[in-house]
Chains A and B, each alone.
Chain A
């Protein structure tokens, strides 16, 4: 187990180093996040619908589509010089490879979210400071779930034509439960409701994470092997 985690970190560190060198995907995702928030900011009528009602949905739509950029690049990195073939014939277990990609994707998406959240507060003037710890908690729970599923689907579509188009088409239906939970919890937290009121949703998000991280780990070898 420890050995697998160690090797997963080797894969994740390599992916993060590659991203640090090129900065292509992270910059695209951050710019995308800023642009989407700007568009939503100017494309709404605050007199028709109160900001506080719209804000949670806007936040999660933005995070979801920005995360797609990370997920698309996860296995695209391995197509350069067919490095994926090298990994598949090496003694690296498929579990370590999946976990490595998952860790790198989580770090990537976390960075995008860390930039996106202050922008969200700035554009929508939503007071988050009093609910920051539980809000970060729900962001973390929902992110783990959709990145776990997204990493699996990213491996599945990478050898198909139009992989970048296929990923959202396949992935979005699986994201409905965590997104629904995340939007509802975020809305209630921003409305000043107590955390106890959303505990059920938080449990659901945690259950989704456990189920889909486990399922994705088990299914991953079938997506990359011949």
Chain B
């Protein structure tokens, strides 16, 4: 459903992505761990189609319509309400009016945004904004989810709800790529784990039942040895 083959991208002399390759089939979750500046966001931008790779190619089955992207930015309009934002983005993805209404109501309820749905996004706290961002990314029921630090700003309950939501989506055959610097956040959802450092995947392997502590230890060794 999602494949990357020798992806490279540079900003001037800095190689943000360096020969990254992987393939994900339905129901798989790849957690990409890496320190700040490792190239995780660039990888997601290339996969989303916002940046063109200077080498290699990325392919998402279903094209842009299949992608749900949670970036560092919310893409939400501050002077529109949460509800208006969700409906706008669903319209852009060609979701019909009846489905838009149903999904917006479902996601607002699921992510605990009920009392905030009719308020302008500019009035939301960081955590509530992140919940609205998650709802925005899921409005068109994407089959490939690209998540850049998706737990940022979420309280414990919202983070747990997001984990449940993602587990459900993966159970339904969706593909998820989570990029984060925090090993504890992504491990339990992952079927595959990659350590990214200076643009390269220094390790890519199945999670194979490893705990967060074991993955964290492997991450430290991999990054130190890179």
Residues of chain A whose beta carbon lies under 8 Å from any beta carbon of chain B: 3, 7, 10-11, 14, 17-18, 21-22, 77, 80-83, 85-92, 226
Q: Is B116 an interface residue (CB 8 A)?
A: no
- On whether the beta carbons of A7 and B92 are closer than 8 Å, the reply is yes
Contact of A91 with B64 in the complex, beta carbons under 8 Å:
yes
B80 & A18 in contact (Cβ 8 Å cutoff) = yes
Contact in complex: A83, B76 (CB < 8 Å): yes
Q: Please judge, given known A-B contacts A81-B78, A91-B65, A92-B92, whether A226 and B51 are in contact too, CB under 8 Å.
A: yes
Instruction: Count residues on chain B whose CB falls below 8 Å from chain A CBs.
Output: 28
What is the bound-complex CA distance between A3 and B94, given in angstroms?
Answer: 9
Contact assessment for B77 and A81 in the assembled complex, using a CB-CB cutoff below 8 Å? yes
Interface status of B203 (Cβ within 8 A of chain A): no
Residue on A with the closest CB to B120?
Answer: A21
Interface hub of A7, A83, A87, A89 (most chain B Cβ within 10 A): A89
- Residues from chain B with a CB closer than 8 A to the CB of A80 are 77-78
Report how far A83 CA is from B89 CA in the complex, Å: 10
Q: State whether the Cβ of B63 lies closer than 8 Å to any Cβ in chain A.
A: yes
Q: Which of A14, A88, A91, A226 makes the CB contact (< 8 A) with B77?
A: A14
Contact B84 A82, beta carbon cutoff 8 Å: no
A-B residue pairs in contact (CB < 8 Å), sample of 20? A10-B88, A10-B92, A14-B80, A17-B80, A21-B79, A81-B73, A81-B76, A81-B77, A81-B121, A83-B73, A83-B75, A83-B77, A85-B71, A86-B75, A89-B48, A89-B50, A90-B89, A90-B93, A91-B94, A226-B50
- Is the Cβ of A91 less than 8 Å from the Cβ of B93? yes
Q: Output the least CB separation between B140 and chain A (Å).
A: 9
Residues on the B chain within 8 Å of A21, using CB:
79-80, 120
Closest to B79 in A: A21
